[in-house]
Structure 1
Amino acid sequence: MKIELRNIDVQLTGSQETDELFVSGYVNKTGEFSQPLGREKRFVEKIEPGTFNRAIEKGNDIHFLAEHDNAKLLASTKNGSLTLREDEQGLYMKAKISPTSYGKDYHQLISDGLLTNMSFGMQVPAGGDKWSKRSDGMYERTIEEIYLAEVSVVRNPAYVQSSIQARSLDVTSADELFLMSKNNEKEGIITMTNEKTLKELRAQLEALEAQENTNEVVAIENRAIENEVNETRGVELFLKGDMHSEEVRALTTGSQSITVPTVLSNTIVEKLVEQAALFGRSKSFQPTSGTLEVLREDKIGGATFIGEQENAAVDNELTFDKVVLEQRRAATAIELTQQLINDSGINIVDYAVGVMTKRLAREMDKSVLKGDKANKQFEGILTSTVAETVSTIDFATVADADLLDALLDVTLAVHPDHLDGAVFVVNRPTFNRIAKIKDADGRYQLVKDVVNGKPAYKILGHEILIQDHMTGAVAGEVAVAFVNFGVAYATMVKKGASMKRINADTKNALAGTELLLLDVYADGKILNETAIKFIKQSV
């Protein structure tokens, strides 16, 4: 950074006390505009009050020189021989000149009034000044921050510039300073323009990247849709017996069987969940291998109140047991005629999947209720020997008020945390009996509602599910099950169903039909029996 020199016509005086040589005076007056500076481009400047104080507080060494010549050092703040301070008028200096031969000479010249001009060298950091333009075209410069390098006594201001330059001091002239300010202004505009251009380019690049990502996503989605179409087409051709088509070969696992495509397999699982009222409400797990172990709290320990300095005899045991979900094969079949298969007006794939999933859903719900693990079925909740039987009543003779109380008791027996989502499960005759319950004023207690867009019936705020596989009013059997399946029951469905086409046997060949067999692998186990409560038919 170049040094700027300012020559000030002030009254510099000298004095001698005993053998010591002193000079003092104002180096610069603050808050006042200077005389016009520069020869080609004219401007005036002023140094704001406080600027010199901040410069002095920086603590750098400031020297008092003769003619800005570092070889003619007269005094310095380094050893305290130069004192600088800013007051209400400006920068004031007092120096005790070292009694060198040139020091004595300059002190004598100052004392004789032959040298009265002061000059100072400063550096203005970026942002340390402000420029403005007057109405008459003259520029004004206001300086608020400087680095003060030195102060000098000078003989001839016109001579100062040339002599300093001859000594290779890095000095900025007023004209150079003006040009620098204008260049900086232009550079600022250019910089702002470049920054704006850069921002625009970045925005364009981001837009291109976003478009590219969108195109890539669209391409992936299109490929996925194309694969789904080809896979569904493959299933349709498989049903029609075209085993040599490219779409079928991609799905074939054997001479007459295929792996159901992922999209169709997911549809089967979704339909199972949708149509199997009990299975769909259960807590579903996704297996990563052949079996899945689900931890279940068996004992959570306890707590107690004790006195000070007494041993805490607390049961702190926390134990778990495991519910193991295995792969149990669930299969269903549908017999299709060749006319149905080849009828272009029927979507044979949707039709076959719809019929078979409905059959599987019914069988799975039956297994959730009454399944026997020994027969490779789910674990049925009605087989539980731990679930609590809250009431035992005779549904044929029970009064409405007593039946309503029994239903209320079974809901109160469930932990409040498990009530949300709990449902009553009954068969059709038991539902008909509950539907006729009236209060003392003759009002029916059954409420018709809409749940998940479908009509439903509720009593005591809980939905009633009608399941034909419930035992009903049979002595000693469960007539009403109150269950939160999302808490009480765990299920698993393995991804990847398989489909087999059977048409080579004599029966199907003679009848002109095909047997389509669908296999899925699933399991269901009781997870939390405290969320299962029963009402049984009395003996």
Structure 2
Amino acid sequence: MKTELRSFEVRLAGTEQEPRLIGYAAVFGQDSAGLPFVEKVRPGAFKTSLESGQDILALVDHDRGKVIGRISNQTLSLREDDKGLLVEIKPNLETTFGSDVVASVKRGDLKNMSIGFVCQKDEWKNDIREIIAADLKEVSIVSMPAYSGTTIQKRNQEGKNMDLNERELRQKLAQAKEKQSALLEKKELTEEERGQQLELAKEIRTLETELASFKPEPKQAAPAVILSAGQDEQRTAFVNYLRGKSYDTRAMIVGTATAGGYLAPDSFLAEVVRKLNELVVMRQVARTITISAASVKIPRLTDSVTAAWTDEATAIAPSQPAFDQVTFTPHKLAALTLVSNELLGDSAVAVESLLAQLFAEKIAEVEDLAFFKGNVTGQPKGIMTEAGITRIPTAATDVISADEIIALYDALPPAYRASATWVMNPATMGAIRGIKDPPLYQYLLISNMVGDTPNTIFGRPVLLSGNMDTIAAGKDVILFGNLARSYYIVDRLGLEVQRSVDRYFEQDITAFRAIKRVDAKLVLADACRILKMKT
């Protein structure tokens, strides 16, 4: 049967002041393409979902950071007609991506719509799948229709067109994991049972390797398209995976195919990120951006428009802003932690929170050092290694004066002072704690004794990092500036987690490996200044 590309066209309507994006996110009875099977959507498939009143989002390229409409504020309208699921979006032109998507649709760069949904009921006839009922999650304006690449579609196909040998391997794998889980639940193991545990671990690894040969070449998917079971099911499956118990693979999101790991659910990732924000000093003040692509380019102003007093009848000197681009390519950061099997088997231990804490501590230690002093290929570029930042020199090699701290403050352009932060080593703060402003004989460093409020200098907070140099000849000892404007941290979406019971089998320990990807660079050198000790 000949199939056609599942491409649902979107068009621009309304006025320039109040544009509307209109199109079909699904066409009833139309064959899909790009799947290992043919799929159709039955009329009325979204009826229950639309009548439920749940808040459905309109996105750009399935990016939940780019919401251009939603049911709850009546900027997204959805209804089924004889043709399919009709969508009408009222984008917000006050946002950059809202204006961009309107311009791109108008020019024809973006002309398709796609949907993200969880299948509630389907029917198979002669290897053709028909969606009878679906829980609609979002609709997206896309350059290429993402519907045919959604992970949920591939997962729902499991068990239908599956090769007989693959079925047998999956059954053997499930049986082996059940036996392994039964052994893990025992408090003590005999020598014979320990031998069985080792053989089971080897068998599971062999079966997983053989099953990997059946999987097609993976296609990169946008985050919102990775729709599996609900968050509760994802979390339960992930925790069971961590404990070494049986888990539903359909509720798990596969990470890098060659690594064999799984992407952590949103709840686990959010907890790791929250702890990183607490532990990594630079994350508390720099601008953080999350991307789903392999890299991103951000424009940087290198030369601004100038102004000058000009006599009458005298030519005005022309000037124009100049930009270049900073490319961020998140680098691979891996962390390995060990947890005893006894601890994993204790149901009273929140293994998810424990691993989030362990991973965050290890990742934070490496990240913060790179954000300040990274100067090696394959890691973020540290802000203190940037030669383009203006340095304010001291008169001595081992002492800082009040005038030098005042000079550092005055050197920062006033536009950046209101949101500026001081960053220094704890030892440096100790050295300047007793410095007084000569005219007023008041301490420059104001200590705050209440709660977690930071100390301040000239009303701006002081943050401490052990990765800043201490006072010594030729060292950069104090960073002052609006770091949200000057330094960007770019995180790649997702955290991949893999477990291994083989490596430390003799010690009854399970190893866990986490992989995240991050990059960071200076974007605006003028927004910060550095105090440099005399050489």
TM-score normalised by length of structure 2? 0.54
Measured after TM superposition, the shift of residue 308 of structure 1 is 4.0
Local SS of the residue matching 1:493: strand
| Structure 2 counterpart of 1:291 | 295
| Structure 2 counterpart of 1:63 | none
| Structure 2 counterpart of 1:57 | none
Write out per-residue CA displacement over residues 202-233 of structure 1, whole angstroms, 9 at most, x where no aligned residue. Answer: xxxxxxx9995279999999xx9982222222
Distance across 2 between alignment mates of 1:509 and 1:292: 42
Distance across 2 between alignment mates of 1:428 and 1:464: 10
Write out aligned runs for 1:354-503 (5 A): 354-372=357-375, 374-394=376-396, 396-398=398-400, 403-438=401-436, 444-449=443-448, 454-503=452-501
Write out per-residue CA displacement over residues 6-42 of structure 1, whole angstroms, 9 at most, x where no aligned residue. Answer: xxxxxxxxxxxxxxxxxxxxxxxxxxxxxxxxxxxxx
Question: Residues 471 and 308 of structure 1: is their aligned pair in 2 closer, same or farther, counting only changes over 3 Å?
Answer: closer
Write out per-residue CA displacement over residues 121-151 of structure 1, whole angstroms, 9 at most, x where no aligned residue. Answer: xxxxxxxxxxxxxxxxxxxxxxxxxxxxxxx
Q: Say if 1:334 and 1:515, in contact at 8 Å, map to a contact too.
A: yes
Distance across 2 between alignment mates of 1:232 and 1:291: 29
| Structure 2 counterpart of 1:535 | 531
Measured after TM superposition, the shift of residue 264 of structure 1 is 2.2
Write out per-residue CA displacement over residues 359-398 of structure 1, whole angstroms, 9 at most, x where no aligned residue. Answer: 22232221111011x3311111111111111132436445
Local SS of the residue matching 2:405: helix
- State the one-letter code of the partner of 2:388: V
Distance across 2 between alignment mates of 1:232 and 1:384: 42
- Is 1:351 the counterpart of 2:350? The answer is no
What's the % identity of the aligned pairs? 18
Write out aligned runs for 1:111-510 (5 A): 213=53, 227-242=230-245, 244-246=246-248, 250-253=252-255, 257-312=261-316, 314-372=317-375, 374-394=376-396, 396-398=398-400, 403-438=401-436, 444-449=443-448, 454-505=452-503, 508-510=504-506
- State the one-letter code of the partner of 2:383: I
Question: Residues 262 and 405 of structure 1: is their aligned pair in 2 closer, same or farther, counting only changes over 3 Å?
Answer: same
Distance across 2 between alignment mates of 1:381 and 1:245: 44
Question: Residues 307 and 396 of structure 1: is their aligned pair in 2 closer, same or farther, counting only changes over 3 Å?
Answer: closer
Measured after TM superposition, the shift of residue 317 of structure 1 is 3.1
Q: Say if 1:303 and 1:315, in contact at 8 Å, map to a contact too.
A: no
Write out per-residue CA displacement over residues 239-271 of structure 1, whole angstroms, 9 at most, x where no aligned residue. Answer: 1112x4215763445685211123322332333
| Structure 1 counterpart of 2:193 | none
Alignment length, in residue pairs? 319
- State the one-letter code of the partner of 1:516: F
Write out per-residue CA displacement over residues 453-486 of structure 1, whole angstroms, 9 at most, x where no aligned residue. Answer: 7231112211111111112123211011113110
Local SS of the residue matching 2:53: helix
Distance across 1 between alignment mates of 2:304 and 2:330: 30
The root-mean-square deviation of aligned C-alpha atoms, in Å, is: 3.2
Measured after TM superposition, the shift of residue 274 of structure 1 is 3.5
Question: Residues 443 and 511 of structure 1: is their aligned pair in 2 closer, same or farther, counting only changes over 3 Å?
Answer: same
Write out per-residue CA displacement over residues 100-127 of structure 1, whole angstroms, 9 at most, x where no aligned residue. Answer: xxxxxxxxxxxxxxxxxxxxxxxxxxxx
Distance across 2 between alignment mates of 1:214 and 1:238: 31
Local SS of the residue matching 1:468: coil
| Structure 1 counterpart of 2:144 | none
Distance across 2 between alignment mates of 1:225 and 1:411: 52
Question: Residues 405 and 349 of structure 1: is their aligned pair in 2 closer, same or farther, counting only changes over 3 Å?
Answer: same
Write out per-residue CA displacement over residues 174-206 of structure 1, whole angstroms, 9 at most, x where no aligned residue. Answer: xxxxxxxxxxxxxxxxxxxxxxxxxxxxxxxxx
Runs of at least 5 residues in structure 2 that lack an aligned partner in the other structure: 1-48, 57-70, 73-134, 138-226
Measured after TM superposition, the shift of residue 285 of structure 1 is 2.5
Local SS of the residue matching 1:264: helix
Candidates 518, 522, 531, aligned match of 2:518: 522
Measured after TM superposition, the shift of residue 279 of structure 1 is 2.1
Please say which structure displays the higher CA radius of gyration.
1
- State the one-letter code of the partner of 2:329: E
Measured after TM superposition, the shift of residue 443 of structure 1 is 5.3
- State the one-letter code of the partner of 1:378: P
Write out per-residue CA displacement over residues 285-335 of structure 1, whole angstroms, 9 at most, x where no aligned residue. Answer: 3325211111011112423444444433x1323210111111211222211
Local SS of the residue matching 2:448: strand
Distance across 2 between alignment mates of 1:300 and 1:455: 37
Local SS of the residue matching 2:407: helix
- State the one-letter code of the partner of 1:538: K
Q: Say if 2:285 and 2:484, in contact at 8 Å, map to a contact too.
A: yes
Q: Say if 2:383 and 2:522, in contact at 8 Å, map to a contact too.
A: yes
- State the one-letter code of the partner of 2:517: Y
Distance across 2 between alignment mates of 1:215 and 1:376: 41
Measured after TM superposition, the shift of residue 348 of structure 1 is 0.8
Q: Say if 2:399 and 2:471, in contact at 8 Å, map to a contact too.
A: no
Distance across 1 between alignment mates of 2:50 and 2:231: 26
Distance across 2 between alignment mates of 1:360 and 1:510: 27
Distance across 2 between alignment mates of 1:251 and 1:308: 69
Local SS of the residue matching 2:456: strand
Distance across 2 between alignment mates of 1:471 and 1:310: 52
Distance across 1 between alignment mates of 2:520 and 2:333: 12
Q: Say if 1:426 and 1:467, in contact at 8 Å, map to a contact too.
A: yes
Distance across 1 between alignment mates of 2:499 and 2:230: 22
TM-score normalised by length of structure 1? 0.54
Write out per-residue CA displacement over residues 345-370 of structure 1, whole angstroms, 9 at most, x where no aligned residue. Answer: 21010111022113222322211110
- State the one-letter code of the partner of 1:432: G
Write out aligned runs for 1:17-166 (5 A): none
- State the one-letter code of the partner of 1:292: V
